Amino acid sequence: MKQYFLLWCLVFGQLCSSISYGAAEGNHSDLNIRCGQMIDGYSGEPLHDQLISIRQGLITNVELYNKATSEDDEILNLSAYTCLPGLIDTHTHITERADETSDLSIHYTRSMTEVREISAENALTTLHAGFTTVRNLGAYIAWSARDLRDRINAGEIVGPRIQTSGFYLTIPGGGGDLVIPGIPENTIPDRVRQGVSRGPDQFRENARKAVKGGADVLKILASGAVLAYGGIPGSPEMTPEEILAVVEVAHEAGIKVTAHAHGAQSIKDAILAGVDSIEHASLADEEAIQLAVKHQVAFSMDVYNGDYINAVAAIQGWPEEFLRKNIETTDAQREVFSTAFSAGVPIIYGTDSAVYPHGDNAKQFVIMVRQGMTPMDAIQAATSVAAKFIGWKDKVGAIKVGLYADIIAVKENPLNDVSALQDVSVVIKEGQIIKLPLSIEE
């Protein structure tokens, strides 16, 4: 019976495993897994032939597999696989589609029903790619990711754990404002501009609205964006006082705040104002890097997506301005990545997905390794280090007793070739099997 459900799932590809397993087979959050190799997310070396016990969705024991003592238990045999903690992507836009960047005005008229369909599809794709936790850093339809988060948490649909920032906190015409050249501002619906603010008081007020609305994290646009009209990626948009106003609201509420910043000045302003992480950091200078080291502010650098933009933007008819700004930032960002990593800036895995398609999140690992990380460093950036900087180290990011049993497995050894993470065979979230090849018997 189990196999029929699984086949149905693989063929129809929807909401399958956990629902069919959950509903038809009872609670599957109790599970034992045997892993040929195990990367726990925080140790420097892998472990071999480990048995992971899961009860009520939590990891309750990890030990060397022993045939004699384990013989009575049903075991999911992944002895030919490498197990890792479920991956964390600290920068997604999970309610939006990559191929819509050519015409952002689509968000002016999009219905909530359609947003929900897109979101559910992206959520499943992301989870199947092995990303069991994502942080959504802004959506033009402001609370679409909160809606998705809440539906996943309620068990209505299947997707990763989500932290969401609600709307973009940005200046008028700034990197998170959805004004488009040639479209009169008075025709743009207010709902896509909820976080647009000027001056510390307005930023404070809107930051409070975001917290009150249920944001898990706040996202500010400290300097110009690549995929926005007007503005120069490096030039500061928010003033230090405006950044500080948002940081104070976030920290009062006990949540993190992250700054979108390409330029050196706005990176420094954001770090000195007390943000927890910087998105992009493309044009950081030596001083900004040293400041990040000193304050232990993480950089989340989307070092893969420049290649994707170069490959598809012209074909898909993206605005010329976006292409130009992409070229200005891609190589520069990769150099900064290498320098920042070797200087000791904490690096957290963030893809800016929706710039490129959901499900391709793992393509960045290869570039991170090419730019100087070991595969283990890159894996930790997407597991324990990411978990620490999103404030969830007691929940996810490691295969460790007491944490959620979010576990993935890959056939090839990612420590030999990190591109193995682009082909995740097994996905388990909170002890529930989400994805499993037919060749593995439970």
Q: Which of residues 59-118 bind Zn ion (CB under 5 A)?
A: none
Residue with smaller CB distance to Zn ion, 237 or 406: 237
* Residue 352 Cβ vs Zn ion, minimum distance, rounded to whole Å: 4
* Residue 379 Cβ vs Zn ion, minimum distance, rounded to whole Å: 22
* Residue 355 Cβ vs Zn ion, minimum distance, rounded to whole Å: 7
Residue with smaller CB distance to Zn ion, 237 or 352: 352
Residue with smaller CB distance to Zn ion, 40 or 216: 216
* Residue 302 Cβ vs Zn ion, minimum distance, rounded to whole Å: 8
* Residue 225 Cβ vs Zn ion, minimum distance, rounded to whole Å: 8
Residue with smaller CB distance to Zn ion, 269 or 302: 302
* Residue 164 Cβ vs Zn ion, minimum distance, rounded to whole Å: 13
Q: Lay out the site mask for Zn ion across 195-214 (x = CB under 5 A, - = otherwise).
A: --------------------
Residue with smaller CB distance to Zn ion, 276 or 352: 352
What is the rounded distance in angstroms from the CA atom of residue 47 to the CA atom of residue 322? 45
* Residue 96 Cβ vs Zn ion, minimum distance, rounded to whole Å: 10
Residue with smaller CB distance to Zn ion, 242 or 352: 352
Residue with smaller CB distance to Zn ion, 216 or 430: 216
* Residue 226 Cβ vs Zn ion, minimum distance, rounded to whole Å: 9
Residue with smaller CB distance to Zn ion, 129 or 436: 129
Residue with smaller CB distance to Zn ion, 96 or 147: 96
Count residues near Zn ion (CB under 5 A): 1
Q: Beta-carbon neighbour count of residue 383 at 10 Å?
A: 26
Q: Which of residues 298-357 bind Zn ion (CB under 5 A)?
A: 352
What is the rounded distance in angstroms from the CA atom of residue 418 to the CA atom of residue 397? 18
For Zn ion, the nearest residue by Cβ is: 352
* Residue 156 Cβ vs Zn ion, minimum distance, rounded to whole Å: 26
Q: Is 26 left (phi over 0), alpha (psi -120 to 50) or beta?
A: left
Site of interaction with Zn ion (CB under 5 A): 352
